[in-house]
A and B are shown apart, each in its own frame.
Chain A
Amino acid sequence: KQEVTQIPAALSVPEGENLVLNCSFTDSAIYNLQWFRQDPGKGLTSLLLIQSSQREQTSGRLNASLDKSSGRSTLYIAASQPGDSATYLCAVTGAAGNKLTFGGGTRVLVKP
């Protein structure tokens, strides 16, 4: 059974500092890994998707890496801004391709 863990559960940084969010998963047989952002009470916004054959993806200030063999992914957010304050969730699509398994999320607060 796939299990996804995100550490830390919460993070508070001053504006301008780089953010590093960690995600680990137990079963390396995945189709892909997605990072999502969730604002309070809202739905999920997809940030980055890394296919199982890829090592990283980049979009603007965001960079995500994937190491399937060790079951880890890291999301880097450069030069954080107060608008980056949200909960960040990672999720893997299993080999059956029919569901996402989510971590518990990391709640980020960027202080002005």
Chain B
Amino acid sequence: ETGVTQSPTHLIKTRGQQVTLRCSSQSGHNTVSWYQQALGQGPQFIFQYYREEENGRGNFPPRFSGLQFPNYSSELNVNALELDDSALYLCASSPPLVEVYGYTFGSGTRLTVV
């Protein structure tokens, strides 16, 4: 089975621009979550999507938005990029019964805002 795949792996953007990051969930997983990880810190929850709807959101402003598609893949969009948005963005997918199987993470997208 394929795991969680993210694209692109690296990205450099200019402050004020917009960016879209993509994630394909693992086969059999119907929920996708996004996390932001600043250097030297643990990942912070951005939001989760289930059945194409947002199912929980962390402490991130509205310029962070997302989508989930019928095939359970997902996009993370960030508008009006700020320097502090530079981070590793991680996508995680989970099957039903997350309490039993937990979350599976992708390799991440390294975003640098200059």
Interface residues of A (CB under 8 A from B): 4, 31-32, 34, 36, 41-46, 49, 51-52, 89, 91, 93, 96-105
Query: Can you name 14 extra interface pairs (CB under 8 A) apart from A51-B99, A93-B102, A105-B42?
Result: A34-B102, A43-B107, A44-B90, A44-B92, A46-B102, A46-B103, A98-B31, A98-B50, A99-B45, A99-B58, A100-B35, A100-B45, A101-B45, A102-B43
B interface residues with partner A (beta carbon < 8 Å): 6, 31, 33, 35, 41-45, 48, 50, 55-56, 58, 88, 90, 92, 98-108, 110
Interface of B is mostly: strand
Tell whether, in the assembled complex, residue B99 and residue A89 are in contact, meaning their CB atoms are under 8 Å apart.
no
Residues of B within 8 A of A45 (CB): 105
Residue of B6, B90, B99, B110 near A52 (CB, 8 A) is: B99
Chain B minimum-CB-distance residue to A107 = B40
Which A residues touch B102, using CB under 8 A? 32, 34, 46, 49, 93
